[in-house]
Structures are given as structure tokens and as C-alpha cells.
Amino acid sequence: MIGQRARHAPGAGTGFIAAGLARKSLAGAVIAGTLFLLGAASTPQAVDARAPLPSNTEAWRLESSLGIEIMVPASWEINDIGCRMTTKPSVVRGTGVTPACFSTEPATKDIAEIAGLDQTSAVAGRSREVQVDGVAAVRVEGRLPDGRFAGRVAIPSREVSVAVRTRDRDLMRTILDSLHVVDIDHWGCAVRPAAPPPTGQPDRLAVPDPSSISVCGYGDGASGRLLASTRLLGADATRLASALNAAPPGGNPDLPAAECIDIGPPAGGRAPDAVLLVHGDGAPTATVRVTFSGCTGRGLTNGTRLAQVTRGIIDQIMRPLHSGYAFQGDIPA
């Protein structure tokens, strides 16, 4: 696969080789031999709302990114945007690696997007200063030329914004009204990851039969903020725990500087690609730090045990997040 970039498109069950993929919000850049993949889109299960919602709406779920949580209808897709987008409504957050192409957003598509201040579309309309959980913000509402209602809340001190474009004004306002500022989201994922305490089991990374695993995906350049999160249950959690415990001991070998160059902070000073919170009945929560996108410092660690990250583990972690990701071609299967 050296010199080729593979991508799994949203909604597709198989991958294909594609050129010209743009890297977005990755901790490091590489010279050659990078694999690019994007988790297949699907609709996750709804979770309990943190606040009452109108009785005439459908079920809702929480979505988290960059220290912001919003509620969207439970039937909405995740990251159904850009190349090969459909007309289905979608939340957009933590897209990660995305294909470079030009796509026109359908006028019938409902969108709620969490992104950096300069990464969401401006809205023409009257702005007003508001407070979101005690944090100063600016809210604007208006209407797009295609007829959709649009609203945007920008929080400068947190360098984040939420933009909503829907055909129904009440839906747009309900989503914006649901916005919360958080330091730890509903799956237990911190906005900025902490190193795992040196209290992990030396002979394994995770309990073999976890009740659940929270998957926290990081990136956002040098800031290393939380991009996306989800929770694995049942067979999915058990399968990942088994793969973690079967990973070869010791971290992945560093690549020579002549073959691969990290751009940005060194491996020890940048955010991991993901953090796993492994919950077991009667057992303390284990924190597993996962690093794979750079040239050095790659592997899995619970603070005590160090193991190699594999492509299979990366896929089990990143695909449920529906975020694009990249790694060097030398990572074992």
C-alpha cells in the first residue's frame, strides 16, 4: 500500500483507492506510505436527553465535539457531507481526513455542524450576545437564499461554533437551544486528554469482558481537542478488549527521519489519536491511550503496559466515530 491512500466512504461497505485526499486536523504529516480511511456512516442509538424536549418531536440524541454538546434527532446521519453526500439530514463533527472534491449541499438537506470558529458558514442576520453555561457567545439567525433557516452560535473563548441549517425554523432553534459547554462529555471523554495513571494492569490493557468502552477521538491540530466520541457495548466492546489484550508487547518501532517526518509537537507532547475508557463491572475504569498517525511514539498504553497498535485495532476504534483517519503503511495488520 506504499504510496496509495485507501478510503472507506460513508455509507459504503467496501473501500476503494483514491488520490487527492486532503488531511485535516491531524497531529502530524508524513511523506509517503500513508493510508487514509473514513468510517462508514450509520445512525447510532439515541441517548437520554439532558433537558426536556418538545413533546411533538422525534427521539433525540447527544453529539459532542470540541467541548460542545448539542442534541439532534436520533435518526440523523453522522458526517454525511461533502463527496458522495446524500439528501439525508446529518450532524457534522470531527470529520478528520476528508476527500478533496466539490459538492453542492442540497437545499433540502438539514445540517447541524460543530467546528472551529472559522470553519462554519457565516449567517446573515441580526446578531445578539448570549450566555451559554456562563460563557459569552454570539447568536445569529437568518435565512439562506435556498429557503432554509440558518442559525449560528459562536463562542470565541472556546474557539468553537455551531451552525444549523434546516427547512424548519423550530427545529433549527431547538438544536441551538440544546447547546451546552462541557469539559467532560456524556460518554466521559475529556475535551483535552490526560495521560493514563500508572495504575494499569501490567499483564493486560483491558478487562476481557467490559460492560462498555467509551471511545474518545482527538485531533484538532496542536490543541488536541476532542473531535468525536461514542460508546461500544456488548460484542463490539468485548471484541475490542480482546484485540487490545492480544496486541504484541512494546510500542510500534519509530520510523527513520529519512522516511517519515512529524510536523508539529513531538509524539510525547501532542494529543493521542484516541483514548479508550474501558468500564468493567466491579473493576475500576481503565484508560488506554492510542497513538498511530505520526512517525514516532506510536502504540497503546494504560500507563503501565505498552503494546503495538495494529490496523485491526485502529479500525475497531475509529470506524464507530465516523471520522477520517490516517496511519503509516508499516503498521501491522
Work out the pLDDT band at 223, boundaries 50, 70, 90.
low
238: helix, coil or strand?
helix
Amino acid making up residue 125: G
Mean pLDDT for 42-62 is 56
In-domain check, residue 8: no
In-domain check, residue 13: no
Top-confidence range, 1-15, 42-56, 193-207: 193-207
pLDDT in tens, 251-309: 999 998 888 877 665 555 667 999 999 999 888 899 999 999 888 889 999 999 999 99
Handedness of CA 119, 124, 125, 128 (dihedral sign): positive
Q: Which of 54-58, 71-75, 132-136, 297-301 has the lowest mean pLDDT?
A: 54-58
- Cα 250 to Cα 264: distance, rounded to the nearest angstrom: 24
Of 137, 156, 181, which residue constitutes the final position of a domain?
A: 181
Q: Are residues 214 and 291 in the same domain?
A: yes
Q: Are residues 191 and 313 in the same domain?
A: yes
Of 121, 147, 181, which residue constitutes the final position of a domain?
A: 181
Q: Are residues 317 and 287 in the same domain?
A: yes
- The percentage of the chain sitting over the pLDDT mark of 70, rounded to a whole number, equals 79
Strand-by-strand arrangement of the 180-181 sheet: 60-65, 68-73, 180-181
Range of the structural domain that residue 138 is part of: 60-181
Question: pTM for the full model?
Answer: 0.83
Please check the confidence at residue 9 and state whether its pLDDT lies above 50: no
Q: What is the pLDDT of residue 257?
A: 85
Longest dimension (CA), the chain: 61
Comparing 304 with 3, which gets the higher pLDDT?
A: 304
Q: How many domains does the chain have?
A: 2
Q: Are residues 71 and 105 in the same domain?
A: yes
- Is 84 buried (19+), middle (13-18) or exposed (0-12) by CB count in 10 A? middle
Work out the pLDDT band at 39, boundaries 50, 70, 90.
very low
